[in-house]
Structure 1
Amino acid sequence: MATTASETVPATEQGWLDRNRANWDDRVAVHAASDFYDLAGFRAGASTLRPFEPAELGDVAGRSLLHLQCHMGQDTLSWARRGAKVTGLDFSVPAVEVGTRLAADIGLADRARFVVADVHDAVRALAGERFDVVYTGLGALGWLPDLTRWARVASSLLAERGVLYLVEFHPFTDMLDEEGRTVERDYFTTSGQAWDEPYTYTDGPPLTRTVSIQWDHTLGEVITALGTVGLRVEFLHEHDATAFERFSVLERGEDGEYRFPAGHPRVPLMYSLRASRP
């Protein structure tokens, strides 16, 4: 059940951060054993990147890539399989442990490392290192209350001529009912909400630490945050597919992505952008 931020979100940063870290620590074992993440398939060679991602970012061979909020590191290591030298950063110790084991299992320990740190503390944790690519993937921004603060961190981690590449669920989807037809939520509600959910989004057993704090962010908020810290958006692409059955009417295609069926009104389900310094 969700409640408003004023009722339940802790007043101190440490409060919400500790709750979210505990919740994600609890999710790791469930996710690692789930069919949804299919770690066996990943070890066998599967990539977790959407087809448009390598096309949009371009050749990463020999480039340094930092993945912020990397969870168990499958996207991180998918970039390593394409030749990047990768660093995955996440605040969950169990998630980083899974990522480190995965890198060893698939023979990429020499091109991949994983670091435990909150995203806001990434500059210190990485000792000021800078990267050709700073990447963040699906479902990351909703865990952050202040996107300008996040954008400032991401920008400070970019090497000269480096790029930020972001892939996210489109905020428009959070307005709609389960059929994806009727608007039932305010797009501009961006205050934090506490969610008490017994299960994570994958298959698997219930969690023991069930409360998390999440924030909605409009597309304008994302773009404005990047501009505020001096980054120039090179493109913003909206996509008609998503990574899971967000609405009950979505159908899974041969590429593994979910889309509205023919004849159903479409809305953007994901977006991607690339930004750089002018």
Structure 2
Amino acid sequence: MTDVDWLRLNRENWDDRTSVHAASEYYDLPGFRAGRSTLRAFEVAEVGDVTGKSLLHLQCHMGQDTLSWARLGARVTGLDFSPEAVGTARALADETGLDARFVVSDVYEARAALGRERFDVVYTGFGALVWLPDVWRWAEVVASLLADGGFLYLAEFHPFTDVVDEDGRTLAHDYFHGDGEVYDYPLTYTDGPPLTRTRSVQWQHPLGDVVTALVRAGLRIDFLHEHDVTLFQVFATLRRAEDGTYRYPDGHPRLPLTYTLRATRA
């Protein structure tokens, strides 16, 4: 599959997802307009006070996380390769009266799209890295976007969950395969109608590659936290908590479900 193919397929797929997501109960745009934050408590705690800081959100989709950081006082920029998603994000900013800039760009072209601007915080939220074929190049882009003393904060689904079957116990897939995999799914991960552009390409990045890529790009790893909480019921054994996340029941053996990482440009 050529570079043009993966980028085109994924952009078309996410353009198609945007209208479904905007109308979905999962994303709950009316609730967001009314003041709801989409950030998890541990993200806010681990990033710390963002008042007055410049924050760039890579792969921002419809901008709810981006705007949630704006509500906490950050000066925010959201970047996404889907024009449909960016259009929704801009409309959401206008509707909520939040000051934000949204830019249409592929992550790998972010440096060109943003000129010489650098940021105090680069934020990447859940479900972003699987859409990028080259995590080493991603890390170089992230490093180039950070001001001196600035940091990347990454919150992601743990790659180990992709190798375990839905029963949460059986090893079913290769953790180390690095080739892009083509998917053809009629539905997105939210409620809503079928998609019309159903094909996408995704890559699995082992945790060691993500950490090593950031170190090679010149960043210092401040922490790597693995969590037993996730956003979807990926295994049948998980139970929904009051905050909408999913966890193992008390006493059940646990796997890491998500992770967070902060890496600083010295």
TM-score range, shorter chain: over 0.9
Distance in 2 separating the partners of 1:249 and 1:100: 39
Aligned to 2:119: 131
Q: Any idea what SS the aligned residue of 2:103 has? A: strand
Deviations 1:202-258 (A, max 9, x none): 111001110000000100010011011111100000000001111122111122210
Unmatched segments (≥5 aa) in structure 2: none
Q: Aligned residue for 1:6? A: none
| TM-score with structure 1 setting the length | 0.94
Alignment of 1:36-55 (within 5 A): 36-55=26-45
CA apart distance, 1:186: 1.3
Aligned-pair Cα RMSD in Å: 0.8
Match of 2:210 among 218, 222, 226: 222
Alignment-derived partner of residue 172 in structure 2: 184
TM-score (normalizing by structure 2): 0.98
- Residue of structure 2 in register with 1:237 after alignment: 225
Pairing of 1:83-94 with structure 2 (within 5 A): 83-94=73-84
Correspondent of 1:31 among 12, 18, 21:
21
Q: Distance in 1 between matches of 2:64 and 2:142?
A: 20
Question: Equivalent pairs: percent with the same residue?
Answer: 66
Unpaired runs of at least 5, structure 1: 1-9
Amino acid at match of 1:29: S
**Cross-structure match for 1:199:** 187
SS in 2 for 1:113: strand
Aligned residue in 1 for 2:109: 121
Q: Which amino acid aligns with 1:242?
A: T
- The question of 1:269 aligning with 2:253 is answered no
1:135 partner SS: strand
Question: What is the rounded CA distance, in whole Å, between the counterparts of 2:259 and 2:25 in structure 1?
Answer: 25
**What's 2:65 paired with?**
75
Aligned residues: 266
- After TM superposition, the runs of 4+ consecutive aligned structure 1 residues lying more than 3 A away are none
Measure the CA separation in 1 of the matches of 2:124 and 2:203: 16
**Counterpart code for 1:179:** D
Distance 2:40 2:160 in 1: 20
1:19 and 2:9 equivalent?
Answer: yes
